[in-house]
Structure 1
């Protein structure tokens, strides 16, 4: 007779298998996309269920054995999904020493518009001394605090503050050229395109913050996916060193982010190094990587770290990149004709 505990294990195991496979349905509605986020959490919970089934189920019961096989299969599937982001996996961007020059130090932070702990951000910038600072969810209050705190040290500025949580402030010690403000999908959501001049070489920077697929803002990921992929298509057309940075409201391992990497030809410094989960800063058990810095094969990674809390629901992300003399395309993800067709369809659906 099945005990109450065994019944609970069956139910939890069934739910875990269901939410692991649900994102395979390529539907833009949020309920299909949201379960892409907690991949590491699903791996841990599934492992607990696996051990529980070993302990509490009889070995001679066919149904119990079948359930155990399904849980093992799901564990292998989840392991396959998270493996590229573990330290033992192959790095997509090679590492070099900190003394290699020229290098670019970049800090990105979603400050959370209602957050008022601006001093923590100011102290962090004073300590780390990044060349470029990208701040998201910045309204006029944040713009004024940043300008009065460290604005004089950053001569080149792009100030697109908004009161709708999609404000964007870019501060740079390095010269910025050819700066453009785009509204790729929605009129109220800006993105920045600019050239950073590093020792007479131009680095194309795209800064984006698409809206998340959540019921309170947009129940579908269509607009988010379109904005991400539009930038991916633009970066693919650029031959110069390129960086895409921002809060993508999408995890590093999602189907859309992987498609973006294929279409853009950019690389993810997280691969082979760790999750660097940046959201949610105040909930350790519900945390995943939403804030990203992708770059072309012109760069080598010198340093990457998730910074301490600044009072926001996001942790800042810091990278130091060495700009090499030659581009290394060897670790770009392979793109197929089907990928290109799918990207075009997603862009069309999100911009129509």
Structure 2
């Protein structure tokens, strides 16, 4: 128990740093689980291990207080970022539904995802981890979507986007890392144009730190900031809602999180979402209102589907949503540091590749 308690405190301390090593950044993910484990450990050590009382239990309580502070915005204890549309107005002009799902490339239960899309009949669909087999399998159910842009890949970073809303200026781009595509498209709803950004950067794992992931998120945030139209950002960010990188994304991009004040909407892992964390995201600028939002049942992937209904109503939304402040000088400095670290890492990899 002592070793476990020390590991919890050490991991919490490491997660406060800006280091990009994968074994540090993974401590960002299970903050709620760490919080609960700290509280339980402090209780046990206080009553069972008198030799380490009060210092280790006290350290656990201090660290758990900090963990609670990080996840507090994703509880009903704080005000919401995005206002809810009035009852009965969620299907009016300018309203649309969306589905984003990491299908898990090796998952071959195509029928469950096809049934999900057919049953929900969303206006926008973003699927990630789609290889050619997945593209072929869902082709039929996506035939009714006139706006389509896909890049199937066999490296678990393929992406597919379909829209029933009028679509223009659509493209798939590698923002920071080759064969790690992102979707960009301009859609129309209720007489207004808005830009969709769909992301799926690579996660922290052995031999893969977070320089590329963080750079992709910052580049996308800057693109959102520079657009003269509303923005909807969705996808599997391989980052949690309460991380510094995601906070930087919303600050730089001028984006709001509809989960704030409502809950975590944990989508991973699908087998125990009650103990999971939010990897699949939805962010919007201040021109949107929220109709409804939910995490669906498992369809065979390690992620659960994330669904929402939004209403693009700029005049009403701006008066009802949380005020969006521009990025601070500290935010800009932090974003610059992310890009500098990415460029240094890219240059290092290039040199090592040439030497190899």
Q: What secondary structure does 1:153 align onto?
A: coil
Give the conservation status (yes or no) of the 8 Å contact 1:41–1:285: no
Q: Which of 268, 271, 292 matches 1:279?
A: 268
Q: Which residue of 1 aligns with 2:42?
A: 50
Q: Partners of 1:121 and 1:161 in 2: how far apart?
A: 16
> Mind listing any 5+ residue stretches in structure 2 that lack a counterpart?
347-356
SS at match of 2:224: helix
1:298 to partner: Cα distance = 0.5
* Mapping of residues 179-198 of structure 1, within 5 Å: 179-198=170-189
* CA distance in 2: counterparts of 1:285 and 1:297, whole angstroms: 30
Give the drift of 1:286: 5.7
| Match for residue 244 of structure 2 among 248, 255, 259 | 255
TM (normalized to structure 2)?
Answer: 0.90
How far 1:203 moved relative to its partner?
A: 1.2
CA separation in 1, counterparts of 2:46 and 2:264? Answer: 29
1:111 aligns with 2:100: no
What TM-score, normalized to structure 1?
0.91
Task: Give, in angstroms, the shift of residue 153 of structure 1.
Answer: 1.7
* 2:274 aligned with 1:292: no
Which 10-residue stretch deviates more, 81-90 or 253-262? Answer: 81-90
Name the CA distance, whole Å, in 1 between partners of 2:324 and 2:233: 15
> For the residues of structure 1 that align with 2:274 and 2:83, how far apart are their CA atoms?
30
Q: Using a 3 Å threshold, how does the CA distance of structure 1 residues 103 and 136 change in structure 2: closer, same or farther?
A: same
Unaligned runs of 5+ residues in structure 1 are 1-7
Aligned ranges 1:1-352 → 2 under 5 Å? 8=1, 10-58=2-50, 63-96=52-85, 97-100=87-90, 101=92, 102-148=94-140, 150-215=141-206, 218-284=207-273, 287-326=276-315, 328=318, 330-332=322-324, 335-351=327-343, 352=346
CA distance in 2, matches of 1:86, 1:179: 36
- Residue 98 of structure 1: how far off its partner (Å): 4.8
Instruction: Count matched residues.
Output: 338
CA distance in 2, matches of 1:285, 1:122: 25
Give the direction of change, closer, same or farther, for the CA distance of 1:300–1:196 in structure 2 (3 Å limit).
Answer: same
Which moved further from structure 2: 276-285 or 84-93? 276-285
Instruction: Provide Cα deviations, 1:245-289, integer angstroms capped at 9, x if missing partner.
Output: 111110111111111111111011111111111111124576211
Q: Is the 8 A contact 1:93 1:268 kept in 2?
A: yes
Spell out, residue by residue over 1:82-109, the C-alpha distance to the aligned partner (whole angstroms, 9 max, x if none).
Answer: 1110122211111123524221211000
SS in 2 for 1:186: coil
CA RMSD of aligned residues (A): 1.8
Name the SS of the counterpart of 1:151 in structure 2: coil
